[in-house]
A and B are shown apart, each in its own frame.
Chain A
Amino acid sequence: EAGVAQSPRYKIIEKRQSVAFWCNPISGHATLYWYQQILGQGPKLLIQFQNNGVVDDSQLPKDRFSAERLKGVDSTLKIQPAKLEDSAVYLCASSLAGGGTDTQYFGPGTRLTVL
């Protein structure tokens, strides 16, 4: 079974530029998550989708971050404009149903450096 795919793996941008990340979850998984992991910290949820609807985006900085999940499959996360403090690894995860006890499978992440 293929895992969660993410691209790009690495991205370096200047502050105030925009950037987009892409995620392809495990086939058949209804729930998709985007987490932000700052160096030395645990992952922090940014947004959760159930199929193509948003379940939780309470910690998404909506003035600069946006995300969409088209047709309930792939998802993109965008940052515009980027700030220095956005330097982090952006992890995508998926789970079959989305309950709190449902196993989440993580992709390898996209490492973003903002200069």
Chain B
Amino acid sequence: QKEVEQDPGPLSVPEGAIVSLNCTYSNSAFQYFMWYRQYSRKGPELLMYTYSSGNKEDGRFTAQVDKSSKYISLFIRDSQPSDSATYLCATPNQAGTALIFGKGTTLSVSS
């Protein structure tokens, strides 16, 4: 079992839709979770991070962690064509150094 699993999609939605992106993780010791956004032919950039359980909101984006089910979610409200990108969930490895990434979910928002 991979440490971080993510459905690669692709996911296509119309502009204005609510988008839900999800990951699962296997190690209950993981406590810090990140969402990176990667535009085509660019490097990933940090979008949001959350600690442990609960929600974190930043504008149209909400990150949620459910530790009981080892489930990480990113919600995008009022999606825009500029949100079209690959979204990667990540968590630090057990040594607390580098990141373990999911496969990424490719999102396309059409106008």
Contacts and interface: CB of A to CB of B under 8 A. Distances in A.
Nearest to B86: A42
A72 interface: no
Interface residues of B, number: 24
Given A42-B88, A42-B103, A100-B32, A109 B43 contact: yes
A17 B44 CA distance: 29
B103 A41 contact: yes
A108 B96 contact: no
**Interface bracket on A:** 20 to 34
B61 interface: no
B97 A55 contact: yes
Given A42-B101, A98-B97, A100-B93, 18 more contacts: A41-B104, A42-B4, A42-B6, A42-B88, A42-B90, A43-B101, A45-B93, A45-B98, A48-B97, A55-B97, A56-B97, A91-B44, A100-B92, A101-B92, A101-B96, A106-B44, A109-B42, A111-B41
